[in-house]
């Protein structure tokens, strides 16, 4: 138990004050007299045992017994008392007086009317006020983090990084070289400002780090603190907002006053969206306290002069909801995207997190990086930690490939459920479902290779199929998306062909396929009837207040056309998957037998099974309109390609021809949620970049877990791993 914290509790102080008051009152009221019955007091007077009597306030009489005389009574609980008192009512007063006149005490009797003492009056009147003051004092102390901060509402709660704190440098950061380069320049600004002022360069006032969770934004800020060697103030955006209006603005002023006094300095605000949200976007008006805090932050950033070496670094996961006034140049001059790393970045991140962990000599971290596309730095750290936990659980000394493989599966799909018992029929349905997914992927021309198929339950999935890319990619062709549709429906088609009775396991497959088809029609302009028109609002997270009330920007007739086009895409994919399953039924049966026997098949085993697979027919070249014919002019050749085609520098490159040349680009594998060059910029990029040159698109991720009833399990990574299965 924390004794100091318990001692600061207001309840303890209140009880202490009450106890002292009760003791004082008992001391004032207690004078050594013991209470007896009124009849016993009258008997003592009548028998002449009383030495002196005092009548108090016409309700109480105190009796001093004669020397050597005591009174005891088991009824009254009095034992050998020499001083006693008894109460009497007003109507009995004349009787008491008559008794005293008839049997007067040896020292007589007296009447006494008590006057309240000044101390008692003060105690009764002041004690409640004192209790309220003490209660308020301790409550405010608790709310402000302790008694030493009472009434210091407007003081900044930022933590100052010192030299004694654990030091993080740029050497500990990997996978985001561009962000490190920009922040390295910030460090130089602080260390050598004259170098930049000599050429007329102004020190940037603010740097905004934005990107998905787990990509290392806070780690980058800590690295800047470790590299710069200047005072580093760290605070969360929520620390500015209090229940009292004006407290946040006061804390902003105090924070920047401290930073200016210790310039050059860095101020880091984590999760700035807590205080920097779009003003006036709330239903029924904005939050006064938050908006006042934001206004003060804007004023402080504008108040920087040229020679004030204070830089504000902020981090957020949602730059799309930040106030435009906060994002303009002059406030946040640098806006750095911290995205998920590529394969080389993942390899470097794994090397950083592998320090201090005993790795087996056979472990290839590059292969692990290749198997984890779309993973963030936090995901990769979790993979190595899970592998270390599995190694310790198995009483092993070194982390091997088996532990890493299991750790990747645990991060993607959850822990394996060995206690789930499945009937033979359900296991066979699961095997055919997963085999349908794998066979469809193997028979298509624009999908990545299937690396793993299992029917072992994991997480909420009854089984899954994993498809891994060979390289990172940043755009997706129409044929690749169509292959994704066919691949998603492969499991459902296998159930229809084999058992003639589909299960609920394909619900999530259908959901994902429908979402991809709708995006093809409404966002990517891949429908001939609709054309290259963006229809509807962004599919990102809704910011209530700003996005509320936006109407659909297309008519009911266009909505009907969209539904028809989506249905056409799904039906075509369904037919193509049916043709693949029907033509390769023997291969599907062989795959199912292997799955039922071994339960899990790796890439080498799958490649051997799929070697005689019959590929699906190439799709015809898609035309956006009948009059837009395909050009016969091939793409321009680079000098290296010309040399190769002439036989001077390598093997000849076949000239592009047919549908494969114009209907699709080479497939290199990356998540569907990857940027497409030339695509319309999302709301996030629109606010952060002046151009729409390369905006990320939101094609459905290839990672997928199908659940009973169509519920989806979110994955921690967003790469190309596709997980699907019946009842997943």
Active site residues: 434
Q: Is the peptide bond before 264 cis (omega within 30 degrees of 0)?
A: yes
What residue spans of 232-370 are helical by DSSP H? 247-261, 288-302, 324-327, 343-353, 365-370
Q: Which residue has the tokens 């549908």?
A: 659
Reduced to 3 states (helix: H, G, I; strand: E, B; else coil), residue 587 is helix
Sign of the dihedral through C-alpha 639, 641, 647, 651: positive
Rounded Cα distance, 334 and 629, in Å: 45
By three-state DSSP, how is residue 312 classified? strand
Phi, psi of 464 (to 5 degrees): -160, 160
CB atoms within 10 A of CB 229: 12
User: Rounded to whole angstroms, how far apart are CA atoms 504 and 544?
Assistant: 34
H or E element, residue 577: helix 556-583
Q: Three-state DSSP class for 44?
A: helix
Q: What's the burial of 50, exposed, middle or buried (CB within 10 Å: 0-12/13-18/19+)?
A: buried
Return phi, psi of residue 685, to 5°: -70, -30
CA distance 49 to 599: 105
Instruction: Tell me the C-alpha distance between 718 and 701, whole Å.
Output: 6
SS3 (DSSP) at 527: coil
Report the 10 Å Cβ neighbour count for 296: 20
565: three-class secondary structure by DSSP: helix
**Which of the 8 DSSP states describes residue 206?**
E
**Rounded-to-integer distance, Cα 468 and Cα 386, Å:** 21
DSSP strand pairing (34-35 vs 78-81): unpaired
Quick one: tokens of 74? 């088991």
Which residues of 66-186 form beta strands (DSSP E)? 71-73, 78-81, 83-87, 109-112, 159-161
What's the CA gap between 136 and 130, in Å, rounded? 10
Q: What phi and psi values does residue 270 have, to the nearest 5 degrees?
A: -85, 145
Q: Are 153 and 250 in contact (CB under 8 A)?
A: yes
| Residues in the chain, total | 728
Determine how β-strand 109-112 pairs with β-strand 50-56.
parallel
CA distance 162 to 160: 6
| Residue among 726, 716, 721, 690 nearest 704 (CA) | 721
Distance between CA atoms of residues 720 and 471, nearest Å:
11
Alpha helices in 397-528 (DSSP H): 401-413, 424-443, 478-499, 507-522
Residue 52, classed as helix, strand or coil, is strand
Cα torsion 151, 311, 235, 683: sign: positive
Show Cβ contacts of residue 682 under 8 Å, excluding neighbours closer than 6 positions. Answer: 320, 538, 540, 695, 696, 698
C-alpha–C-alpha distance, residues 416 and 208, integer Å = 40
Phi-psi region of 414 (alpha: psi -120 to 50; beta: other; left: phi over 0): left
Q: How far does CA 157 lie from the centroid of its chain?
A: 22
Q: Which residues contact 165 (CB under 8 A, 6 or more apart)?
A: none
């Amino acid at each position: 138990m924390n004794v100091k914290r318990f001692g600061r509790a207001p309840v303890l102080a209140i009880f202490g004050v009450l106890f002292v008051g009760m003791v004082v009152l008992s001391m004032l009221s207690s004078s050594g007299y013991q209470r007896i019955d009124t009849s016993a007091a009258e008997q003592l007077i009548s028998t002449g045992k009383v030495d002196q009597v005092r009548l108090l306030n016409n309700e109480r009489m105190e009796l001093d017994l004669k020397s050597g005389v005591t009174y005891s009574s088991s009824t009254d609980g009095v034992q050998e008392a020499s001083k006693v008192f008894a109460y009497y009512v007003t109507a009995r007063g004349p009787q008491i007086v008559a008794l005293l006149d008839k049997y007067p005490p040896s020292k007589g009797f007296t009447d006494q009317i008590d006057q309240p003492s000044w101390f008692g009056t003060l105690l009764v009147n002041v004690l409640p006020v004192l209790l309220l003051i003490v209660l308020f004092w301790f409550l405010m102390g608790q709310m402000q983090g302790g008694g030493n901060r009472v009434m210091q509402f407007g003081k900044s709660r930022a933590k100052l990084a010192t030299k004694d704190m654990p030091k993080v440098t740029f050497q500990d950061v990997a996978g985001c070289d561009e962000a490190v380069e920009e922040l390295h320049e910030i460090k130089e600004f602080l260390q050598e400002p004259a170098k930049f002022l000599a050429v007329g360069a102004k020190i940037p006032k603010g740097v905004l780090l934005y990107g998905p969770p787990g990509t290392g934004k806070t780690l980058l800020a800590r690295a800047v603190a470790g590299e710069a060697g200047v005072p580093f103030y760290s605070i969360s955006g929520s620390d500015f907002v209090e229940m009292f209006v004006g407290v946040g603005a006061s804390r902003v002023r105090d924070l920047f006053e401290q930073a200016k006094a210790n310039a050059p300095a860095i101020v880091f605000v984590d999760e700035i969206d807590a205080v920097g949200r779009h003003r006036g976007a709330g239903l029924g008006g904005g939050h006064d306290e938050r908006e006042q805090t934001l206004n003060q932050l804007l004023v402080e950033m504008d108040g920087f002069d040229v020679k004030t070496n204070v830089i504000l670094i902020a981090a957020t996961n949602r730059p799309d909801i930040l106030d435009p006034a906060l994002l303009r140049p002059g406030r946040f001059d640098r806006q750095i995207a911290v995205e998920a790393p590529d394969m080389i970045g993942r390899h470097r991140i794994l090397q950083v997190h592998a320090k201090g962990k005993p790795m087996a000599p056979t472990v290839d971290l590059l292969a692990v990086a290749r198997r984890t596309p779309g993973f963030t730095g936090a995901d990769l750290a979790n993979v190595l930690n899970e592998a270390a936990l599995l190694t310790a659980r198995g009483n092993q000394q070194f982390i091997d490939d088996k532990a890493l493989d299991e750790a990747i599966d645990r991060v993607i799909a959850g822990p394996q459920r060995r206690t789930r018992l499945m009937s033979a029929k359900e296991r066979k349905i699961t095997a055919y479902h997963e085999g349908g997914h794998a066979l469809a992927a193997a028979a298509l021309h624009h999908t990545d290779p299937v690396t793993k198929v299992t029917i072992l339950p994991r997480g909420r999935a009854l089984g899954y199929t994993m498809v891994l890319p060979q390289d990172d990619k940043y755009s997706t062709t129409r044929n690749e998306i169509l292959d994704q549709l066919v691949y998603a429906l492969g499991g459902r088609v296998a159930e229809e062909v084999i058992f003639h009775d589909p299960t609920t396991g394909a619900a999530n497959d259908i959901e994902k396929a429908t979402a991809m088809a709708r995006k093809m029609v409404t966002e990517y302009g891949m429908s001939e009837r609709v054309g290259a028109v963006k229809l509807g609002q962004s599919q990102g997270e809704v910011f209530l207040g700003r996005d509320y009330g936006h109407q659909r920007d297309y008519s009911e007739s266009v909505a009907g056309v969209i539904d028809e086009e989506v249905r056409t895409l799904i039906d075509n994919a369904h037919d193509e998957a049916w043709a693949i399953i029907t033509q390769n039924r023997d291969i599907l049966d062989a795959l199912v037998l292997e799955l039922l026997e071994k339960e899990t098949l790796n890439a080498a085993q799958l490649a051997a099974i799929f070697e005689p697979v019959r590929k699906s027919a190439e799709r015809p070249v898609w035309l956006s309109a009948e009059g837009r014919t395909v050009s016969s002019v091939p793409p321009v050749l680079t000098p290296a390609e010309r040399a190769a085609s002439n036989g001077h520098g390598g093997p000849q490159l076949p000239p592009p021809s047919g549908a494969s040349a114009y209907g699709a680009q080479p497939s290199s594998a990356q998540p569907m949620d990857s940027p497409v060059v030339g695509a319309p910029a999302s709301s996030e990029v629109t606010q952060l970049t002046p151009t729409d040159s390369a905006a990320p698109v939101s094609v459905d991720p290839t990672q997928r877990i199908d659940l009973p009833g169509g519920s989806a399990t979110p994955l921690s990574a967003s790469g190309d791993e596709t997980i699907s299965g019946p009842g997943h």
